[in-house]
Amino acid sequence: MTVLTLKNVWKIYEGNVIGVEDLSIRVEDGELFALLGPSGCGKSSTLRMIAGLEKISKGELWFDDVLVNDLEPRERNVAMVFENYALYPYLSVYENIAFPLRLRGMSQVEIDRKVRWAAEFLGITDLLPMRVRGLSGGQMQAVGIGRAIVRQPAVLLMDEPISHLEARQRARMREELVDLHSQLGTTTIYVTHDQVEAMAMAHRIAVMNLGKLQQVGTPKEVYNQPHTKFVGGFIGEPPMNFANCELSSENGEFYVVSPSFKVKLSPQAAAKLENYHGDAQVQLGIRPENISVSMTPTESSFAAKVYVTEPQGDRTLLSVLLDSNELFLIEVAPDFFAPPDETVYLKFNEPIHLFDRVEEVNLLY
Amino acid sequence: MSSRRYILWWVLPAAILFLVIILIPFITALTFSFRSFSFTSSLSTGQYIGVDNYRKLVFDNDFYNSFKVTFLYLVPAILLQGILGLGMALLISGAVRRARILIPIMLLPTLLTPVVIGLIGVLTLNPDFGVIGQLLKKWGLVQGSVLGNASTALPAIIAVDTYQWTPFIAVILTAGLLALPKEPYEAAQVDGANPIQTFFRVTMPLLWPYFVVALLIRVIDAFRIFDIIWVMTRGGPGTATETVAVYAYRHTFRYWDFGYGSALIMVIFVFISILVEYLYKALQRWQAAQ
Is position A365 within any domain?
Answer: no
Instruction: Give the pLDDT mean for A102-109.
Output: 92
Residue in A87, A90, A103 nearest the CB of B192? A103
Question: Which of A234, A265, A281 delimits the end of a domain?
Answer: A234
Taking CB atoms and an 8 Å limit, are B290 and A89 in contact across chains?
no
Co-location of A156 and A107 in the same domain: yes
Instruction: Give the pLDDT mean for A131-145.
Output: 90
Co-location of A175 and A257 in the same domain: no
DSSP A232-259: HHHSSSSPPEEEEEEEEEETTEEEEE-S
> Which of A305, A300, A337, A333 has its CA nearest to residue A320?
A305
**Residues of A whose CB is below 8 A from B197:** 103
Compute φ and ψ for A276, nearest 5 degrees: -85, 125
Task: Return the CATH number at A134.
Answer: 3.40.50.300
DSSP, collapsed to helix, strand or coil, labels residue B41 as coil
Is position A25 within any domain?
Answer: yes
DSSP, collapsed to helix, strand or coil, labels residue A353 as strand
CA–CA separation, A233 and A227 (whole Å): 11
A contact residues 131-150, partner B, Cβ 8 Å cutoff: 147
A59 burial via Cβ count (<10 Å: 0-12, 13-18, 19+): middle
Find the DSSP H helices in chain B: 3-18, 24-32, 52-58, 61-98, 102-106, 108-111, 114-125, 131-138, 153-179, 183-191, 195-198, 204-223, 227-232, 244-249, 258-289
Co-location of A268 and A189 in the same domain: no
Interchain contact A72–B (C-beta under 8 A): yes
A-B CB pairs within 8 A amount to 65
Question: Nearest chain A Cα to B186, which residue?
Answer: A53
Taking CB atoms and an 8 Å limit, are A73 and B194 in contact across chains?
no
Question: Which of A178, A212, A234 delimits the end of a domain?
Answer: A234
Query: Is residue A77 within 8 Å of A59, Cβ to Cβ?
Result: no
Q: For the segment A182-236, what is each residue's pLDDT rounded down to a tens digit?
A: 999 999 999 999 999 999 999 999 999 999 999 999 999 999 999 999 999 999 9
DSSP, collapsed to helix, strand or coil, labels residue B48 as strand
Co-location of A200 and A273 in the same domain: no
Q: How far is A45 from chain B (nearest CA, A)?
A: 14
Residue in B184, B192, B194 nearest the CB of A88? B184
As a whole number of Å, the CA-based R_g of chain B is: 23
Residue A327 has pLDDT above 90, yes or no: yes
Is position A159 within any domain?
Answer: yes
| ipTM computed for the complex | 0.82
Task: Return the CATH number at A291.
Answer: 2.40.50.140
- A304 strand-pairing partners: A344
Residue B145: per-residue pLDDT? 79
- Give me the number of domains chain A comprises: 2
Taking CB atoms and an 8 Å limit, are B190 and A104 in contact across chains?
no
- Report the predicted TM-score, pTM, of the whole model to 2 decimal places: 0.79
Taking CB atoms and an 8 Å limit, are B201 and A99 in contact across chains?
yes
Residue in A84, A104, A151 nearest the CB of B183? A84
**Left if phi > 0, otherwise alpha if psi is -120 to 50, otherwise beta: which for A79?**
beta
Domain residue limits, chain B: 77-207
Interchain contact A100–B (C-beta under 8 A): yes
**pLDDT band (50, 70, 90) for residue A95:** very high
DSSP, collapsed to helix, strand or coil, labels residue A217 as strand
> Which of B16, B24, B47 has its CA nearest to residue B34?
B47
Is position A361 within any domain?
Answer: no
Residues of B with CB under 8 A from a CB of A: 183-184, 186-194, 197, 201-202, 205-206, 208, 287, 290
Residue B137: per-residue pLDDT? 80
Co-location of A58 and A150 in the same domain: yes
CA–CA separation, A288 and B172 (whole Å): 60
* Measured CA angle at B69 (ends B64, B70), to 5 deg: 95
* Measured CA angle at A137 (ends A135, A141), to 5 deg: 95
> Which of A44, A341, A50 has its CA nearest to residue A193?
A44
- Selected residue of B183, B189, B190, B206 to mutate for chain A interface (largest A Cβ count, 10 A): B190
Taking CB atoms and an 8 Å limit, are B189 and A104 in contact across chains?
no
Each of the 290 residues of chain B gets a pLDDT tens digit; together they read 567 788 888 889 999 999 999 899 999 889 888 888 776 655 666 778 888 888 888 888 888 999 899 999 999 999 999 999 999 999 888 888 788 888 888 888 888 888 998 898 888 888 788 888 888 887 877 777 778 788 888 888 999 999 999 999 999 999 899 889 889 999 999 999 999 999 999 999 999 888 888 888 888 888 888 888 998 888 878 888 888 889 889 888 887 788 888 899 899 899 888 988 888 887 777 666 65
Q: How far is B288 from chain A (nearest CA, A)?
A: 8
- Selected residue of A76, A88, A102, A156 to mutate for chain B interface (largest B Cβ count, 10 A): A88
A contact residues 75-94, partner B, Cβ 8 Å cutoff: 78-80, 82, 84-91
Q: Tell me the residue range of the domain where A283 lies.
A: 241-356
CA–CA separation, B252 and B46 (whole Å): 14
Q: Which amino acid is it at A300?
A: S
CA–CA separation, A294 and A160 (whole Å): 42
CB atoms within 10 A of CB B19: 11
Residue bearing the bigger pLDDT, A331 or B224: A331
Query: Is residue B146 within 8 Å of B127, Cβ to Cβ?
Result: yes
Query: Is residue B158 within 8 Å of B168, Cβ to Cβ?
Result: no
Co-location of A261 and A213 in the same domain: no
What pairing do the DSSP bridges indicate for beta strands A253-257 and A327-332? unpaired
Q: Which amino acid is it at B79?
A: L
**Left if phi > 0, otherwise alpha if psi is -120 to 50, otherwise beta: which for A236?**
left
Co-location of A98 and A145 in the same domain: yes
Co-location of A77 and A179 in the same domain: yes
DSSP, collapsed to helix, strand or coil, labels residue A340 as coil
Residue bearing the bigger pLDDT, B114 or A275: B114
Q: What is the CATH number that goes with domain B77-207?
A: 1.10.3720.10
**Residues of A whose CB is below 8 A from B183:** 82, 84-86
**Residues of B whose CB is below 8 A from A80:** 186-187, 190
Residue A92 has pLDDT above 60, yes or no: yes
Co-location of A131 and A266 in the same domain: no
Is position A180 within any domain?
Answer: yes
Taking CB atoms and an 8 Å limit, are A82 and B187 in contact across chains?
yes
Q: For the segment A64-77, what is each residue's pLDDT rounded down to a tens digit?
A: 999 999 999 989 99
Taking CB atoms and an 8 Å limit, are A89 and B183 in contact across chains?
no
Co-location of A191 and A252 in the same domain: no
Co-location of A26 and A115 in the same domain: yes
Q: Which amino acid is it at B219?
A: V
Question: Which of A199, A234, A269 delimits the end of a domain?
Answer: A234
Taking CB atoms and an 8 Å limit, are B191 and A53 in contact across chains?
no
Residue A108 has pLDDT above 60, yes or no: yes
B67 burial via Cβ count (<10 Å: 0-12, 13-18, 19+): middle
Query: Is residue B190 within 8 Å of B202, Cβ to Cβ?
Result: no
Co-location of A323 and A256 in the same domain: yes
CA–CA separation, B52 and B71 (whole Å): 27
Taking CB atoms and an 8 Å limit, are A147 and B202 in contact across chains?
no
Is position A215 within any domain?
Answer: yes
Is position A314 within any domain?
Answer: yes
Is position A363 within any domain?
Answer: no
| Helix (H) or strand (E) segment spanning residue A48 | helix A43-51
**Residues of B whose CB is below 8 A from A99:** 188, 191, 201
